[in-house]
A and B are shown apart, each in its own frame.
Chain A
Amino acid sequence: MGSAGSGKFGTYRIGKGEGTSGTGSGVGRMGSEGSGEVECPKIIENIPLEDVAVLEYYQKYNTLPSQETSVRLRATIYRGRLVVETADLGEILGNLPTQYNTLINCIKKGMKYSGTIVASGITPVPFVVVTLNA
């Protein structure tokens, strides 16, 4: 008759990180399925930005950049939030939802996130959805 049991201390290895976050549904979500650890994701898809209507770009131009416009995650915190800005002039498009705050680690490790606008518009309310790549 055999028995089952754990091996020993110190055998834990990181190796279950998904490397990708997002739902593809447009609703913000970043989490680990099951018990795997999430490392700095290589790609985060379909992030709906927050507070678009009151931030720099929309306030300045009363419109928003179109699909495929290049964007990047700013490397520093702006008014308590991580923000996504246009890649050319660095104008703020929107706040990254706070559930992505963990990316601050990745940024401080020297990683850079850039990507494109997946969807944008001004009705029913100004909105921007982006996908970011490390």
Chain B
Amino acid sequence: MHSQKVLIIGEIFIDTHLDIIDEHGPLVRLGGIFHSARAFSALNVDYVLAYYAPDYLEDDINYWSCVLNTKGCFKLGTIKNAPNVMLVNESKEVGDQGYYNIIKDQAQYIDTGNIDQIISITNPTDILIYPGRYSCELLFESLYAFNGKIHVDFHYDSEHILDGIKTSVNTIILSTSSSQFKEQCGGTLDGIVEYFKPYDINQFIVKENRGGAYCFDVGSQRIFEAPAYYVPIMHSVGVGDVYNAVFVSQILDNDIEKRMRLAALCAAKYAETMSFDKFSENTKLMLDNIDELAALQGVRLSWAERSQKNIYLAAPDFPNVDKKPLDKLNDCLLYHNFKPHLPIRENGLADGFLRYEDELRIYNSDIQLLESCDLLIAVLLYNDPGTLVELGMFKQSGKPTIIYDPFSYCENIFVKYTPNFLCKTLDEVISSTYQCLRRR
């Protein structure tokens, strides 16, 4: 269908989802570059795999790459002394997912393939690189003479990846989930441009998790933006890689924004299921109807905007109360770059021994904080009167409210019908937070 052929380079893992259990135990599937492979296969775009993996996975990799209609599957190197098994503690990325690569520090990467030969045999138009702990310097030196487009996912293990690069890179792909984005690029476009100044880059795509994405085209200095689309997600592992595949494809020609919307829709469809057949069917539906679906309203709330969104966490944050759900929510909101506020920890605790004027000072400070916030989340650790009063006061301001009710205390109709969203799980709270605060 398309003349494009993408060579995907990177590691292959066994993703082990510890929180998705079926009759066989935790769900396992091939991860790493297989996530993008699934997307290319679903989109009917030709692709080739060049991978690093332990030898014991070879038969499975060959078998499943055939199932996914690959045009070639080549081993670039083997990984010894480590299984490349990635444990995923929390599949939905409500907060930090707790990825754990078993005995990764003793892994040895031994090059066995020849990238020049693979390029010469397969003749790709694009190369999509997922750097890892294999020698990226060696790889980039080998790509010096490559005339097609190079796209690099600048991700978790990719601190020094561009050291050996001497050619231009079409796309640098960044994610707000990666430490590189936050630490080396300072979490801003200016920081990104500065960090990559020594290199010849055509465009940057920055995926901002559930808040959408933007693309900065260096030549025209233009910024393109597109939203994310809410789905009841099952997982978020590999979702960004699906986005990458759609984005670097030549589908929709030069309409960058529409392609970003398609990428977001397909990524959402990947997050919805662990079934390739279902994902593939849904992806085709998205592609067939993209002219209509491109107009669909989604969630756009940039990483930078989120840091300006103040969220009041109303809860009985008292010393003798088990506050785990509240602390976890606070951590998750911080992970997504929101600005949560815990009034008692900020303004002090009125413990009954305070003088009148000190109590009043705390009360007034809390009211001031309440008024300055954009959203209130009431965490029902129990039916605490203070929490419910704060909910009612905030509601009257016309700003959005969410109830997080992990223990099903919410029975009273005033409590039930007051918030914009009544949530039972953290995942729902995070999704609802994006819904409440998204750009209008």
**Contacts from A to B (Cβ < 8 Å):** 4-14, 23, 25-33, 35-38, 76-77, 79-81, 97-99, 101-102, 104-105, 108-109
Q: Is the CB of A6 within 8 A of B278?
A: no
Q: Is the CB of A31 within 8 A of B427?
A: yes
Contact of B297 among A31, A80, A108 (CB under 8 A): A80
Q: How far is the CB of B7 from chain A (nearest CB, A)?
A: 24
Which residues of chain A have C-beta atoms less than 8 A from B231's C-beta? 101-102
Nearest B residue to A82 via CB reads B296
Which residues of chain B have C-beta atoms less than 8 A from A28's C-beta? 420-421
Nearest B residue to A4 via CB reads B25
Which residues of chain B have C-beta atoms less than 8 A from A14's C-beta? 273-275, 278
Q: Is the CB of A37 within 8 A of B230?
A: no
Contact of B422 among A5, A25, A30, A99 (CB under 8 A): A25
Q: Is B331 an interface residue (CB 8 A)?
A: no
- Which 7 pairs across A and B sit closest by C-beta, in order of nearness? A7-B24, A80-B297, A27-B422, A6-B25, A35-B20, A31-B232, A102-B231
Q: Is the CB of A9 within 8 A of B29?
A: yes
Which residues of chain A have C-beta atoms less than 8 A from B24's C-beta? 6-8, 11
Number of interface residues of B (CB under 8 A): 57
Q: How far is the CB of A1 from chain B (nearest CB, A)?
A: 18
Contact of A77 among B268, B269, B293 (CB under 8 A): B293
Q: List 24 A-B contacts (CB under 8 A).
A: A6-B16, A6-B26, A8-B28, A9-B60, A11-B22, A12-B29, A27-B416, A27-B420, A29-B422, A32-B232, A33-B425, A35-B17, A35-B19, A35-B21, A35-B234, A37-B275, A38-B232, A80-B295, A101-B230, A101-B231, A104-B293, A104-B296, A108-B285, A109-B285
Q: Is the CB of B422 within 8 A of A98?
A: no
Alpha-carbon separation in the docked complex, A29 to B268 (Å): 17
Q: How far is the CB of B406 from chain A (nearest CB, A)?
A: 13
Alpha-carbon separation in the docked complex, A105 to B229 (Å): 12
Q: Is the CB of B417 within 8 A of A27?
A: yes
Nearest A residue to B16 via CB reads A6
Alpha-carbon separation in the docked complex, A31 to B272 (Å): 11
Which residues of chain B have C-beta atoms less than 8 A from A77's C-beta? 292-293, 295-296
Q: How far is the CB of B338 from chain A (nearest CB, A)?
A: 18
Q: Is the CB of A29 within 8 A of B423?
A: yes
Q: Is the CB of B431 within 8 A of A76?
A: no
Majority DSSP secondary structure for residues of B touching A: mixed
Which residues of chain B have C-beta atoms less than 8 A from A9's C-beta? 28-30, 60, 64
Contact with A along B402-425 (1 / 0, CB 8 A): 000000001000001101111111
Which residues of chain A have C-beta atoms less than 8 A from B167's C-beta? none
Q: How far is the CB of B142 from chain A (nearest CB, A)?
A: 31
Q: Is B428 an interface residue (CB 8 A)?
A: yes
Known: A35-B19, A101-B231. 17 other contacts (CB 8 A): A6-B16, A9-B29, A11-B22, A13-B275, A25-B417, A27-B421, A29-B421, A35-B91, A35-B234, A38-B232, A77-B295, A80-B296, A99-B435, A101-B229, A102-B272, A105-B286, A108-B289
Alpha-carbon separation in the docked complex, A49 to B410 (Å): 22
Alpha-carbon separation in the docked complex, A13 to B287 (Å): 25
Q: How far is the CB of A100 from chain B (nearest CB, A)?
A: 9
Alpha-carbon separation in the docked complex, A7 to B424 (Å): 32
Alpha-carbon separation in the docked complex, A76 to B291 (Å): 12
Contact with A along B64-89 (1 / 0, CB 8 A): 10000000000000000000000000
A37-B273 in contact given A6-B25, A12-B29 (Cβ < 8 Å) = yes
A101-B27 in contact given A28-B421, A31-B427, A31-B428 (Cβ < 8 Å) = no
Q: Is the CB of B275 within 8 A of A12?
A: yes
Which residues of chain B have C-beta atoms less than 8 A from A109's C-beta? 285
Which residues of chain B have C-beta atoms less than 8 A from A108's C-beta? 285, 288-289
Which residues of chain A have C-beta atoms less than 8 A from B422's C-beta? 23, 25, 27, 29
A38-B285 in contact given A26-B417, A30-B232, A102-B232 (Cβ < 8 Å) = no
Which residues of chain B have C-beta atoms less than 8 A from A76's C-beta? 292
Contact of A37 among B234, B286, B295 (CB under 8 A): B234
Q: How far is the CB of A80 from chain B (nearest CB, A)?
A: 4
Nearest A residue to B21 via CB reads A35
Q: How far is the CB of B244 from chain A (nearest CB, A)?
A: 22
Which residues of chain B have C-beta atoms less than 8 A from A11's C-beta? 22, 24
Which residues of chain A have C-beta atoms less than 8 A from B424's C-beta? 33
Q: Is the CB of B29 within 8 A of A98?
A: no
Q: How far is the CB of A84 from chain B (nearest CB, A)?
A: 15
Alpha-carbon separation in the docked complex, A3 to B91 (Å): 24
Q: Is the CB of B22 within 8 A of A98?
A: no
Q: Is the CB of B273 within 8 A of A101?
A: no
Alpha-carbon separation in the docked complex, A60 to B395 (Å): 30
Nearest B residue to A15 via CB reads B22
Q: How far is the CB of B310 from chain A (nearest CB, A)?
A: 23
Q: How far is the CB of B270 from chain A (nearest CB, A)?
A: 12
Q: Is the CB of A98 within 8 A of B28?
A: no
A25-B416 in contact given A11-B24, A105-B285 (Cβ < 8 Å) = yes
Nearest B residue to A109 via CB reads B285
In the complex, chain B residues 210-250 whose Cβ is within 8 Å of any chain A Cβ? 229-235
Which residues of chain A have C-beta atoms less than 8 A from B268's C-beta? 102
Q: Is the CB of A38 within 8 A of B272?
A: yes
Which residues of chain B have C-beta atoms less than 8 A from A101's C-beta? 229-231, 296-298
